[in-house]
């Protein structure tokens, strides 16, 4: 037999084997999503029958069917048409995420441009401080934020979540990576042609460095869509809560509701993920860019 054919076959077999090995962990990602989807399409009785062993004493296990016996959209219908509170929470989540991202665009993107383009003596030290601030967990700065929000009497308003997040330094770090990849001769050429510094920023910087700031937006949206610590600490009024804080409060008695609400919460995140995946990968790489 031709040795080339054997070699080719070996290659293909190796590829197939690799694929199988790597598919196993991928299943651990896909199965939870399927579980949520199928659960959201079951009626209350079917769902109850499957999951009730989980929280009753006994030896019986939970069971499941990925294809429900009686698939139905009533769960969604109830949620969307008979529960106006759900919309309030959904829009709270949207408002928080969108306002934070818009604020970051205005504040963090120019700052990143400043760090990337105008290197002065102080910029190194200041940038190191930004990195440290980026890595401090919320709990360490929680008391500081509380004190200042209290003083400005912003507690229990959405601004209490939005304002501190706008000044987060993570998007500065990401956008910096994008701006840093623009060759400086190009900016110099624009300046020689008579463009002012702001024109250079708006006309050259933003279009050329957009992958950095878009990735900051994508990663930011995913982060702020599942806000938990901040609203838990600073929002008392349940009507101001985002979905991410409300969902876990549902009990097993409302399991059908919980499944539908989970799927609807999942949709915007997966949508942003799908359209932004390239930027997301780029952003993860920028976030790891060595100075």
Partner 1 sequence: MQKKKRRFFYLFVFPGCLGIMVFVLLPFLDVVKRSFTTAVTGEFSGGKNYEAIFQNQAFLLAVKNTVRFTLICIPVLVALGLGTALLLSGLKKGRLLKAVYLLPLAMPTATVALVWKLVFYKQGFFNLFLTRLGLLTGLWGEVHREYLGTAAAFWVLVGSYIWKNMGYTVVLWLAGLSGISGEMLEAARVDGAGSWQRFWRITLPNLKGSLYTIVILSFLNSFKIYREAYLTAGAYPDQSIYLLQHLFNNWFVNLELDKMAAAAVCTGGVLMSAILALQRLWENG
Unique residue bearing structure tokens 């069971």: 63
Region near partner 1 per CB under 8 A, out of 1-9, 80-88, 130-138, 207-215? 130-138
Residue 70 CB, shortest distance to partner 1, in Å, is 20
Q: Is position 115 an interface residue for partner 1 (rule: CB under 8 A)?
A: yes
Q: Is position 133 an interface residue for partner 1 (rule: CB under 8 A)?
A: yes
Tell which positions 153-192 bind partner 1, by CB under 8 A. Answer: 163-164, 166-167, 169, 172
In the bound state with partner 1, the residue whose beta carbon lies nearer, of 6 and 11, is 11
Annotate each residue in 268-287 with x if it binds partner 1 (CB under 8 A) or - if it does not, as one string: -xx-xx---x--xx--xx-x
Q: Is position 245 an interface residue for partner 1 (rule: CB under 8 A)?
A: yes
- Torsion 161-164-165-166 (CA) sign: positive
Unique residue bearing structure tokens 């293909």: 12
**DSSP codes joined into one string, 75-99:** HHHHHHHH-HHHHHHHHHHHHHHHH
Backbone angles phi, psi at 184, to 5 degrees: -75, -20
- Under 8 Å between Cβ of 42 and 263: no
DSSP at 169: S
In the bound state with partner 1, the residue whose beta carbon lies nearer, of 1 and 281, is 281
In the bound state with partner 1, the residue whose beta carbon lies nearer, of 64 and 80, is 64
- Mapped onto helix, strand or coil, the DSSP state of residue 60 is coil
- Helix 255-287 to helix 210-225 angle (10° resolution) is 150
Q: Is position 143 an interface residue for partner 1 (rule: CB under 8 A)?
A: yes
Tell which positions 56-85 bind partner 1, by CB under 8 A. Answer: 56, 58-64
Tell which positions 25-44 bind partner 1, by CB under 8 A. Answer: 25-26, 28-30, 32-33, 35-36
């Amino acid at each position: 037999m031709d040795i080339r054919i054997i070699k080719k076959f070996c290659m293909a077999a190796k590829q197939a084997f690799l694929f199988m090995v790597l598919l196993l962990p991928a299943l651990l990602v896909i199965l939870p999503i399927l579980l949520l989807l199928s659960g959201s399409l079951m009626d209350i009785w079917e769902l109850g029958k499957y999951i009730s062993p989980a929280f009753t004493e006994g030896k019986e296990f939970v069971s499941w069917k990925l294809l429900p016996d009686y698939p139905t959209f009533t769960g969604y219908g109830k949620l969307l048409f008979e529960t106006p509170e759900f919309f309030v929470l959904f829009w709270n989540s949207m408002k928080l995420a969108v306002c934070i991202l818009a604020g970051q665009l205005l504040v963090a993107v120019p700052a990143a441009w400043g760090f990337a383009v105008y290197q002065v003596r102080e910029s190194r030290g200041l940038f190191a401080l930004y990195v440290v601030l980026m890595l401090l967990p919320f709990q360490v700065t929680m008391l500081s934020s509380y004190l200042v929000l209290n003083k400005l009497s912003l507690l229990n308003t959405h601004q209490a979540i939005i304002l501190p997040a706008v000044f987060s330094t993570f998007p500065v770090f990401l956008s910096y990576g994008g701006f840093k990849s623009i060759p400086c001769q190009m900016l110099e050429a624009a300046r020689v042609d008579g463009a002012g510094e702001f024109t250079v920023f708006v006309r050259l910087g933003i279009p050329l460095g957009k992958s950095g700031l878009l990735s900051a937006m994508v990663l930011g949206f995913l982060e702020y869509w599942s806000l938990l610590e901040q609203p838990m600490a600073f929002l008392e009024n349940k009507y101001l809560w985002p979905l991410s804080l409300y969902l876990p409060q549902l009990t097993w008695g409302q399991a059908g509701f919980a499944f539908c609400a989970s799927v609807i919460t999942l949709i915007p995140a997966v949508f942003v993920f799908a359209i932004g995946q390239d930027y997301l990968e780029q952003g993860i790489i920028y976030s790891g860019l060595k100075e």
